Structure 1
């Protein structure tokens, strides 16, 4: 239920309370609870790969992979790994195995430059890098980022033949050992590191604990009936926080089925999946603070939806005051499960989070009288292509490395299929 005060005061503030208490479990403990309730229900569906995984199957594969992490890769609680790639089953298996034993996962975006990629890896001291299937250009791109990768021996991070297959890492029959490691994990251990563009054009790392990840995914209790099969589908890459929270974590909380129409987003595949899989909810944009359901009706499908439970949203003008309903301003959010700061960067944290806990998103948006949020742009110069934030400065610095280019200026151009596309003007 949304705050009635919003409608009465005509001020762009809205919040969505939650009637459910916070959860004091780790994510692996939550998986065990879900398997007890719905072992044979589908948790993950990858339509293009023709792959369907039940909760019981997922738990088994996660435990086997976690055993490989422990005994073949030597990973332990507090270690960090990184993952990059398109939407395939490997991604949730890797993250599930990591969080079972207390290993933090840095989610990397395919569009990052070599410089950004290396900085993120170094900042969290990654001990292993995982790459999912497709696109075909992904491995060569990683080799470009890490030149020694193509000449190393098996088992090393910098390896071509040593890029171990996931099935070669998994070990069966080590349930007790994994359970022992899992008992040491606490709700305050870091589960994920997400890269966020913020408003500066320089990607930053945001850590999320098991508590934040689980409780940040709590929906209003009347949205999902756990006795029924509710299917959600996503258009963004799993590296985004909203996709991870609602596809993997949401499934653990409510027994929902996460459907991925294709490894990378295409509108045609999305429409086909919605019809064939009878999708209940489509997550249209990686905002992570609001959602739209099919029941909301077509009039609001082009919005980012209403705020998720335990989330406040207000629209603020340049003077720091709330604007009236329907007017544009910067989107500020506040939630006990929202991120608490940038990893290793106190100064940027102070610039982004106010003393009263409001997060300045850098998005320009507006609220309707019914509490629906619409994102209309960015305060800073960022191109949003298929939901991916692309920084002109990063692209420009790469383009000018070509010997025939002296000056490069990158600008967005409208594209009805993907929102915006990238145009580089060079001399």
Structure 2
């Protein structure tokens, strides 16, 4: 059985249509597996359409936004394809968000219904959301517990309403979804500090990740352990959607734990294991590495931060992965723009993000919008079939992201080598990446500025041996106020997702500014580096 559709013209029209076709293509192969719970490709449409029928019974209609706020699980995938088959738009929420952060996205997306985990890692998600619950959220469905408020439902009670809607009505809905219909609304932050909802459609995602299936060599029957969170395109589109395209088995992993991953690779014969560099570093540094059976592993895909060539070599040699590659993408292009050929050298795979996938144009432009020569830095710009339809409810931000020639300006800085491989060299938007999660200084600065003792704050990404980068908060205190680093870090942990919390805090009498009276972050970064160097030399 072919692992990819021969061309994009042969692709199903939508993700629900893919589920229906995959049932025919892959039959009794396992689509989803988690412990004793298993769903074959032949059984998946029934599960999908049960969710669709329940949503139609709840009054969800074409274009409605539906939230999923939960860790990776079989239910997550079934709910996602089920709501998409109802014509709804998937709005995933980061499980590390606090209640106010989640409620903000629920409100701005206009979501009428949310599927929410009851308890996860000691956190009560419904209670957090209910503290800030917007009036537009009509119903909350709790996945693993009884609801806390009247009008909300358990998942079992919600699905029971499926009996009110004929199967043929749900099937007709699933088959009516067009390639240009919205499949998801993924919220990503920007330099303004306010997250933006990226509108992506079914067809472009299927086309892009069909290429991904082809390049990494995914085959039917592959067993794909997905540690990357489903709320992110790496876990969603390069994760379970990729499996549905290639006929692989989706094995969800809710949190990364090296011991658990080693166990699952050995016992469940995992063949594909993508993740950020920190995942592989944790495995390679594990004291039990030499005694673990990793012989089933074949494919590793990474990205998200600078990678030393030795890491690629170690993944090949010590983890036994024959296929190792890196890729580049951003939410605004559906999550995938370029990818390395797995046959490239370790230096190319580690040092670049490869070449554009078919149908994608990439240009490195100067501030005047003109192409720069090979090897020279400029802004990475993209044009092609898989660009977003725009930012939800924000036409001004959409207009500012695209130029008159249709190029999407990513805000990332890079260059192309003579072979056309993309090298990421910086970020115009000051974004930094903590353990695979994108962090945006303006968003964190806005949150820290609410502390009553802080007069001014600037946040920078600084190198970290384990995480790649972490946040450093440079703080000027209000006159007469006192605050120390541990207290500010503890305060931050109560108010923002863990990966956004600064790991380092430095206090200043004043922050350096440029001629425009804006904080000069380049100078600030140099000062931090000089202070660190001086401390090492003492």
1:289 corresponds to which residue?
337
Correspondence list, 1:1-400, <5 A: 20-21=8-9, 23=11, 25-44=13-32, 53-71=39-57, 73-110=58-95, 117-132=102-117, 135-136=120-121, 138-140=123-125, 143-147=127-131, 160=148, 164-171=153-160, 175-219=167-211, 223=215, 228-232=220-224, 236-260=228-252, 262-265=253-256, 274=273, 275=294, 277-285=296-304, 287=329, 288-292=336-340, 294-302=342-350, 303-400=352-449
Task: Return the alpha-carbon distance in structure 2 between the equivalents of residues 293 and 129 of structure 1.
Answer: 39
Distance apart, 1:27 and its partner CA = 1.9
Q: Are the aligned partners of 2:190 and 2:440 in contact in 1 as well (CA < 8 Å)?
A: no
Structure (1 or 2) with the greater helix fraction: 2
Relative to the length of structure 1, the TM-score reads 0.80
**Segment of structure 1 superposing worse, 238-247 or 154-163:** 154-163
Distance apart, 1:137 and its partner CA = 5.2
What is the count of residue pairs matched by the alignment? 401
Q: Are the aligned partners of 2:179 and 2:203 in contact in 1 as well (CA < 8 Å)?
A: yes
Higher CA-based Rg: 2
Cα offsets for 1:163-222 (capped at 9, x unmatched) = 644344324775334213334433332211111224443211121222233223231785
* Shift in alpha-carbon separation, 1:157–1:36, aligned structure 2, 3 A: closer
Cα offsets for 1:84-116 (capped at 9, x unmatched) = 233222321111110111111112234556665
Task: Return the alpha-carbon distance in structure 2 between the equivalents of residues 291 and 270 of structure 1.
Answer: 25
* Shift in alpha-carbon separation, 1:45–1:421, aligned structure 2, 3 A: farther
Task: Return the alpha-carbon distance in structure 2 between the equivalents of residues 123 and 223 of structure 1.
Answer: 37
Task: Return the alpha-carbon distance in structure 2 between the equivalents of residues 418 and 306 of structure 1.
Answer: 26
Q: Are the aligned partners of 1:290 and 1:306 in contact in 2 as well (CA < 8 Å)?
A: yes
**Segment of structure 1 superposing worse, 341-350 or 415-424:** 415-424
* Shift in alpha-carbon separation, 1:230–1:385, aligned structure 2, 3 A: same
Q: Are the aligned partners of 2:193 and 2:444 in contact in 1 as well (CA < 8 Å)?
A: no
Task: Return the alpha-carbon distance in structure 1 between the equivalents of residues 258 and 374 of structure 2.
Answer: 31
Task: Return the alpha-carbon distance in structure 1 between the equivalents of residues 256 and 454 of structure 2.
Answer: 32
SS in structure 1 of the partner of residue 459 of structure 2: strand
Q: Are the aligned partners of 1:326 and 1:367 in contact in 2 as well (CA < 8 Å)?
A: yes
Relative to the length of structure 2, the TM-score reads 0.65
Distance apart, 1:276 and its partner CA = 6.1
* Shift in alpha-carbon separation, 1:395–1:251, aligned structure 2, 3 A: same
2:322 corresponds to which residue?
none
Task: Return the alpha-carbon distance in structure 1 between the equivalents of residues 15 and 464 of structure 2.
Answer: 39
RCO higher in structure (CA 8 A, sep ≥6)? 1
* Shift in alpha-carbon separation, 1:115–1:366, aligned structure 2, 3 A: farther
**Segment of structure 1 superposing worse, 378-387 or 365-374:** 365-374
* Shift in alpha-carbon separation, 1:264–1:304, aligned structure 2, 3 A: farther
Task: Return the alpha-carbon distance in structure 1 between the equivalents of residues 427 and 65 of structure 2.
Answer: 32
1:10 corresponds to which residue?
none
Q: Are the aligned partners of 1:231 and 1:277 in contact in 2 as well (CA < 8 Å)?
A: no
* Shift in alpha-carbon separation, 1:235–1:86, aligned structure 2, 3 A: same
Distance apart, 1:403 and its partner CA = 4.4
